[in-house]
Chain A
Amino acid sequence: MLKTIVVFIFTTLIATLLVCIVSTQIVLADVQSFGLNVTNDVRLNATLDDLIGLGPVLYILISVGFLIGFIVAKYAHKYIGGNRTLWYVASGCTTFPITTYIIQYSMGLTIIASVRTPIGLLLATLCCIFSAWLFTLLTTKTLTNNKSGIQHEK
C-alpha cells in the first residue's frame, strides 16, 4: 500500500512536470505568433517560472483526477476484467479532460490557458496517458509462479 502511494505521488509529479512544460511551450508559441522573439534563455526562464507558478495548481488538478480515475480503473479491472494497463491508460486519457470540462462548466472559463485549444488539450492528455501507463508499470507485480497468468496489483 505504501509503495502504491509513493508510486502514485511520483507518477502524478511526472504528469505535472510534463503537462507544465508542454503548457509553457504552447503559451510561448502563441507569444511567438504575435511576432515576438522567444530566445532559449527566455524559454528556459518561462518554463521554470511556470513550474513554480502553475505547477502547484496543476498538481492538485491532476492528482485529484488521477486518484478518482485510478480507483475507478482498479475496480473496473477487478469486476469487469480485461487488460489492467488499458484501464489505467483510459483513466489517464479521460481524467484531465473531464477535470477541465467540470471547471469550464462551473466557472464558465478554462483556467489553464494552454488547453483551450484541441491540440493543447490533446498534448496535455498524452502526458497524463504516459504517466498513467508509468503508474501501471511500476505497480504491476511480476508473476512467475501464477498458473492463471493474471497480473495483480501490488
Chain B
Amino acid sequence: MKSSYQFFRKVRSSLFLIMTNSLILINANAQDYKVSTVVKNLNFPWSIAFLPNNDMLITERSGNLRLVSDGKLLEEKVTGLPNIYVSGPAGLFDVVLDPNFVKNKKLYISYSAGTPSNNYVEVISATLQGMSLQQTQVIFQGSSRNTPHHHGARMTFLPDNTLLITAGDGFNFRDQAQSLESLLGKVLRINTDGSIPKDNPFIGQANARAEIYTYGHRNPQAILVSKAKQVWLHEHGPKGGDELNLIKPGLNYGWPAITYGEDYSGAIISPFKEAQGMEQPVTYWVPSIAPAGMTEYQGTIFPQWQGNLFVAALAGKSVRRLSLENNNVVEQETMLGDRNQRIRDIRTGPDGFIYVLTDSIEGELLKISPMQ
C-alpha cells in the first residue's frame, strides 16, 4: 500500500514536471524582430531606468552610474554614489525612479555595502540634479554576511508607492531564508523614507522582522508589478531549479526546504520538491538559465507580445519570452540565443521598444525592434 502511494506520488511529480516544462517552444528562426546595438563599452551593466526625457540611467556593477542621452553613452559619470563593496558578483545593482520623479527628481539605488567579512544590501534615496546625486539617504540596510554572492537587490514599486526590495540568501546562509528573524532570502517592503508600512504581513509579530513581505527565496533577480497589479518575481535556483513566482504577502516560497535543484557539489539540498504551506513556482527551469532582469511588455510596437513576460538569462545566454494564461506559462520562446551573450537586464522603454543589457566587461545596450 505504502509502495503504491509512493509510486503514485512519483507519477504525479513526473506529470507535473512534464506539464510545467513541456511548453510549446517556438522556433526562433522565424523571428519577427531585429536586434541593434545602442551603446557599447559598458562595464558589467546591471540595470536600466528610463528618464522622462527618454534618456537612460544605467548602473554598472563595477560601481558607476552612467547616462545614455540621444543614443550616446556619456563619458561623464553621475557623481554622488556612496561607498560600494565591489567583489565578484557584488557591486552596484538596481536603480528605480520614484513614482513622482517628474516633480521630486527622487530615485532609489541598491548596492552591496560593507567589507568582505561584513557586507549587506543597502538602498539609498537621492535626488538627481544634472549629473549628480544629492540629498543621499540610506533607507534600507539588509542582514550581514561574509560572502559577495546572492545579494538579490532588485526593486519595484507597488501601486501604493511602497518599495519592494529583494534580498538573496548570501549563498552560505541559505537556512536563514526560512528565518523571519533574518532579512536574507526575503522580499522586503518599506516606505520611501525607510519606515515600515503598518500593513506589512509580519508587523507586530514576535521574532519577525517587520520589513519582511515574503520569505523562502534564494537569490531573486527580478521583481515587477504587472498591469493586472500582480507581483512577479524570479530567482536563481542552485544547480537547476530557477523559479518564476507569483508573489503574495506573507507567503513562504520554500527555499531551501523545497527545491527543484541540487547543490553545485552534487549534494541534495532537500529531498522535497513540495510541502504544505510553501508555494510552488509558476514555472521553473532545469537546467538553470540563471534568470536576471524581467519586463512585462505593455508597449504598442509589438502588439502580439502584449502582456508577455520577458526574462533575461545569464547562463542561458538568451531572453525567454513567456506567454501567460490565467497565471500559467503556456508558451516559451527563446530569443537572442544566436548572439551567445549573457543577458543581464531587459526593460520595455517608454517608446515601446525593448532594451537589453548584456553581462560583460564590454557590455552592450541592445534594442529589440520589429523586423520591418
CA distance A50 to B269 in the complex (A): 10
Task: Tell me if A56 and B268 are in contact (CB < 8 A).
Answer: no
User: In the complex, what's the smallest C-beta–C-beta distance from B107 to chain A, in angstroms?
Assistant: 30
Binds B, one of A5-13, A30-38, A122-130, A141-149: A30-38
Query: Is B266 part of the binding interface, using a Cβ–Cβ cutoff of 8 Å?
Result: yes
Residues of B within 8 A of A54 (CB): 263, 265-268
Task: Tell me if A49 and B268 are in contact (CB < 8 A).
Answer: yes
Given contacts A53-B265, A108-B147, 20 further A-B contacts (CB under 8 A): A27-B268, A27-B270, A28-B271, A30-B256, A31-B257, A31-B272, A34-B178, A35-B257, A36-B257, A36-B270, A38-B271, A46-B268, A52-B266, A53-B268, A54-B267, A54-B268, A58-B265, A111-B265, A112-B265, A113-B267
**Closest B residue to A30 using CB positions:** B175
CA distance A41 to B7 in the complex (A): 13
CA distance A111 to B238 in the complex (A): 11
CA distance A53 to B257 in the complex (A): 19
> B residues bordering A, Cβ < 8 Å?
6, 87-88, 147-149, 171-175, 178, 256-257, 262-272, 275, 277
Residues of A within 8 A of B148 (CB): 108
Residues of B within 8 A of A53 (CB): 262, 265-268
CA distance A33 to B178 in the complex (A): 10
User: In the complex, what's the smallest C-beta–C-beta distance from B258 to chain A, in angstroms?
Assistant: 8
Query: Is A23 part of the binding interface, using a Cβ–Cβ cutoff of 8 Å?
Result: yes
Task: Tell me if B147 and A109 are in contact (CB < 8 A).
Answer: yes
Closest 10 CB pairs of A and B: A53-B266, A54-B267, A34-B257, A46-B271, A54-B266, A109-B171, A57-B265, A111-B265, A42-B271, A34-B178
CA distance A36 to B255 in the complex (A): 13
Query: Is A63 part of the binding interface, using a Cβ–Cβ cutoff of 8 Å?
Result: no
Q: Which of B265, B269, B270 has the most CB of A within 10 A?
A: B265
CA distance A116 to B256 in the complex (A): 15
CA distance A53 to B256 in the complex (A): 18
User: In the complex, what's the smallest C-beta–C-beta distance from B297 to chain A, in angstroms?
Assistant: 36
Task: Tell me if B272 and A33 are in contact (CB < 8 A).
Answer: no
Knowing A31-B257, A34-B257, A36-B275 are in contact, say whether A50-B149 is a contact too (CB < 8 A). no
Query: Is A45 part of the binding interface, using a Cβ–Cβ cutoff of 8 Å?
Result: yes
CA distance A56 to B264 in the complex (A): 12
Residues of A within 8 A of B171 (CB): 109
CA distance A112 to B265 in the complex (A): 7
What is the interface residue range for chain A against chain B?
A: 20 to 34
CA distance A34 to B178 in the complex (A): 7
Query: Is A139 part of the binding interface, using a Cβ–Cβ cutoff of 8 Å?
Result: no
Residues of B within 8 A of A113 (CB): 174, 263, 265, 267, 269
User: In the complex, what's the smallest C-beta–C-beta distance from A42 to chain B, in angstroms?
Assistant: 5
CA distance A109 to B174 in the complex (A): 12
CA distance A111 to B263 in the complex (A): 8
Residues of B within 8 A of A30 (CB): 175, 256
| Listed A/B pairs (20) with beta-carbon separation below 8 Å | A24-B267, A31-B256, A36-B270, A36-B272, A36-B275, A49-B271, A50-B266, A50-B268, A53-B262, A53-B265, A53-B266, A54-B265, A55-B266, A108-B149, A109-B147, A111-B264, A111-B265, A113-B265, A113-B269, A116-B172
User: In the complex, what's the smallest C-beta–C-beta distance from B152 to chain A, in angstroms?
Assistant: 16
CA distance A31 to B108 in the complex (A): 36
CA distance A35 to B270 in the complex (A): 12
Interface residues of A in 68-113 (CB under 8 A from B): 108-113
Residues of A within 8 A of B6 (CB): 41
Residues of A within 8 A of B265 (CB): 53-54, 57-58, 111-113
User: In the complex, what's the smallest C-beta–C-beta distance from B227 to chain A, in angstroms?
Assistant: 35
Knowing A36-B257, A108-B87, A109-B171 are in contact, say whether A31-B271 is a contact too (CB < 8 A). yes
CA distance A46 to B272 in the complex (A): 10
Task: Tell me if B172 and A109 are in contact (CB < 8 A).
Answer: yes
CA distance A53 to B267 in the complex (A): 5
Residues of B within 8 A of A112 (CB): 265, 267
CA distance A55 to B263 in the complex (A): 13
User: In the complex, what's the smallest C-beta–C-beta distance from B210 to chain A, in angstroms?
Assistant: 22
User: In the complex, what's the smallest C-beta–C-beta distance from A119 to chain B, in angstroms?
Assistant: 13
Which of A33, A46, A56 interacts with B175 by CB under 8 Å? Answer: A33
CA distance A154 to B26 in the complex (A): 66
User: In the complex, what's the smallest C-beta–C-beta distance from B120 to chain A, in angstroms?
Assistant: 15
Q: Which of B266, B267, B270, B275 has the most CB of A within 10 A?
A: B267
Residues of B within 8 A of A28 (CB): 271
